[in-house]
Chains A and B, each alone.
Chain A
Amino acid sequence: MAIKRSAAVAFALGALMALPALAQDKPKELVVGIATFLSGPASVFGVPGKNAADLFFEELNAKGGILGVPVKPVYVDEGAGTNQLISEYRRVVQDQGAQVMFGAISSGSCNALAPVAEDLKVVNVMWDCGTQTIFEEGKWKYSVRTQGHAGAEMMATLLYLMKTKPDFKTIAVVNQDYAWGRESWALFQAGLKALKPDVKIVAELFPKFGAPDFSTEITRLSALRPDVVLSTSWGGDLDTFVQQAAARGLLKQSTFVLPLAESSMERLGAVMPEGVIVGGRGDHYFLHPKHKNSAEMQSFVKKYRDKTNVYPIYPTFHMNQAVTGLAKAYEKAGAANGGKWPTKEQVIAAFEGLEFKSLTGTITIRSDHQGLEDQLLGTTKRVPEYPFAVYDKMALYPGKLVTTPVGEKSLEWFAKTKLDLVNDKSIETFDYSK
């Protein structure tokens, strides 16, 4: 009896000891679960993100996958609601055996998924969400972000506005009524008060997310005649707002600042006038002044257009950063591990300090798992080559310059912004060229 029991214990111990060894064997395939919007209004980002992911994983697998292991993407619909998303996320990890998750687009989803990833001990690449508070207010061992955050985006936007239109006196804001709209305005406002304390904020409007009509807001703005109108809206909301504002002459009356307009430019076509300040949540743009003629960019734009008939927008570049970053982290971790398949913890460790090339620049992952990404802003111009507006008078802000330093909170950092940042030497400028 006693012998039997000790044999059983030995067997159990052996099984336990065998486990970590097994985990380091190369799996047959690497399952990557991707949370993205496949339904609802945010599918304007989610579906391009998925299309791009399909392309990038296909390319990656054609080159032998990650460390010789083919990668299989599995998609989860973020549009199903947070609670459903969380259970789907778990299912993909626990049932389908995903070792890596990409989650997600919405900051709300990222906030909800970060603790889940911690619980499940799964590598979680925040591939598109922007809220700066994630790594400023929490520490997440298993999560990493392969792009900049809202702070960097808003700082660059503010600096660009200060440079191109230094003497505006009044500003109004029309943002979507949810975390992104509220938080981005809070940041922008904090920085604005530091750089230009005498500016008057004449209206703060937060129409419902997905509102089909902005007539009343536009009437108010037309009556108030602010020098600058800021809107961090995106997707259908931004298209509708710009369309209705353009039809009623508001775009001529005020300078519009639209930090997410890159993703709407092709759709807006002739509606978008010249002279609007635009951005695209990072340094990516298919006509990036430094990279538009690179072989990788040309091939990506062509493949993406063949597949979808439209030009790639920023979520596709964010997806590229997530996929590339993941492959590089695995390679780095594999090399450190003597060529053997790394554990999840080794992959996460490899992300810290990782530097990799994206389609439009270089991304660095900081020790707090936040990515450093350059920011490209421009002013719209109409050119004969494209049936829609393009960037002109571009400025490229280095990620390091505009991202809140490690350990500081963005809101506080914004409040102590200095004017000399506006004309910092590290900012590169470009004009539109064919």
Chain B
Amino acid sequence: MPPEMLFLAALDGLAYGSLLFLVAVGLSLIFGVLGVLNVAHGSFYAIGAYVAASAVLAAAGMGLPTWLAFPLFLISAILVGVVVGGTVEALLLRRIYGKEEVLQLLVTFAVFMILEDAQKVVFGTQPLFANAPMNWLGTIEVFGIYYTNYQLILIPLVALAVLVGLRLFLRRTSFGRAIVAVTQDREAAMAMGINATRIYLFTFMIGASLAALGGALSSATTSLTPGIGSGMIVLSFAVAATAGLGRIEGAAVAALMIGLGRSAAVYFAPEFDVLIPYLIMVVVLLIKPEGLFTTLQTRKV
């Protein structure tokens, strides 16, 4: 195995890990603030992908320039997060905070089942893809092998921007600080005049938008078929759990680990590439049950 192949494998892992991070960080954020493990998160990813692809195809049909796809990705993601995510939170989740964990989990499981079929009804069952944005950005040659700029540069850049943006948002803005305050002590935060209901709603919308953004970005590289959400959800569980639920920077590292691990597996042990994420998750949870990046913190009991 020539050493440059290792480097190439790492490049593939980077792109894959970045996409995984976008989805998983939303899941992690929602859990950190609301305490709900959102099984329907994969559906937001899928719906984001479908909406973005439809928007890009519609824009192309109207003869609009290809670069418009990138703002469209963002708009679709926010739209899905606000409309679908907002509805789920306001209509369903809001009624079960404080109830048993299993009921919260099952509500999102029910939402997942409903959204899976809703996608089919709305977007059909034929594979849908809109690859124009990927081709528009062209390719780059690394050691004689062509990579798309879209996967090698754009997706990791977006992931980085989200990571930095979320950090700044949570630490520097008053709304972000309010979110952190609610996470740490809901009662105290409310006593200080923070509107927890609003915080929950917005956090859920942000989390759902991030999943939808991951979906929107993937719509240019992959075919959308029924069921893409259910595969993604377990992967993002694996990332979030490996990192420690609620850990944002941790999610980035864990997503990268899983991305690199998987592409290394394609070279060295192709039989085990699908096992890698779960194996990493099991090993990490066994050694450090709260995840890699969780320092001991007092959670409400």
Contact = CB atoms under 8 A, between A and B. Distances in A.
A74 interface: no
Contacts of B144: 222-223
Contacts of A216: 9, 12-13, 16, 262-263, 266-267
B134 interface: yes
Interface in B145-164: 145-148, 150-151
A219 B224 contact: no
Given A219-B12, A243-B131, A212 B267 contact: no
Contacts of B116: 39
Interface string B111-143: 000001100100011110101001100010000
A111 interface: no
A43 B270 CA distance: 28
Nearest to A308: B126
Contacts of B273: 207-208
A313 to B, nearest CB: 10
A61 B263 CA distance: 54
Contacts of A210: 225, 227-228, 231
Interface string A250-262: 1000000000000
Interface string A160-180: 000000000000000001000
Interface stretch (A234-242, A299-307, A332-340, A342-350): A234-242
A47 interface: yes
A239 to B, nearest CB: 4
Interface string A186-223: 00000000000000000011111010110111011011
A219 B1 CA distance: 14
Contact of A215 (B12, B120, B225, B226): B12
B174 to A, nearest CB: 38
B11 to A, nearest CB: 8
A248 B129 contact: no
Interface in A28-53: 38-41, 43-44, 46-47
A244 interface: yes
Nearest to A313: B126
A343 B231 CA distance: 46
B274 interface: yes
A42 to B, nearest CB: 9
Contacts of A47: 124-126
A247 interface: yes
B139 A248 contact: yes
Contacts, number: 124
Interface string B46-65: 00000000000000000000
B218 interface: yes
A8 interface: no
A235 B148 contact: no
Interface in A116-156: none
Max chain B C-beta neighbours (<10 A), residue from A236, A243, A250, A271: A236
A82 to B, nearest CB: 16
Contacts of A248: 139, 145-148
B5 interface: yes
A419 interface: no
Contacts of A39: 116-117, 120, 125, 226-227
A267 interface: yes
A47 B221 CA distance: 24
Range, interface on chain B: 35 or more
A247 B262 contact: no
A143 B228 CA distance: 34
Interface in B211-258: 218, 221-228, 231-232
Given A215-B16, A215-B151, A247-B148, A236 B224 contact: yes
A405 interface: no
B285 interface: no
A310 interface: yes
A249 interface: yes
Contacts of A249: 139, 146
A219 to B, nearest CB: 5
B105 interface: no
Nearest to B134: A247
A220 B266 contact: yes
A128 to B, nearest CB: 16
B225 A208 contact: no
A206 B15 CA distance: 20
Given A210-B227, A236-B224, A219 B9 contact: yes
Contacts of A240: 129, 221-223
Contact of A267 (B8, B125, B127, B270): B127
Contact of B228 (A205, A212, A222, A267): A212
B148 A41 contact: no
A47 B120 CA distance: 11
Nearest to A239: B223
Contacts of A222: 144-146
A47 B139 CA distance: 36
B122 to A, nearest CB: 14
A219 B145 CA distance: 7
B16 A213 contact: yes
Nearest to B142: A219
A284 B13 CA distance: 40
20 contacts: A39-B117, A47-B124, A47-B125, A204-B270, A212-B218, A212-B231, A212-B232, A213-B222, A215-B16, A215-B151, A216-B263, A239-B127, A239-B129, A240-B221, A243-B129, A243-B134, A247-B150, A248-B139, A248-B146, A248-B147
10 smallest A-B Cβ distances: which pairs? A236-B225, A239-B223, A236-B223, A43-B125, A236-B127, A216-B266, A216-B263, A216-B12, A212-B222, A222-B145
Given A46-B125, A205-B266, A237-B223, 18 more contacts: A39-B120, A40-B227, A207-B266, A210-B228, A213-B221, A215-B15, A217-B266, A219-B12, A220-B267, A222-B146, A223-B8, A223-B144, A235-B225, A236-B223, A236-B228, A244-B221, A247-B135, A248-B139
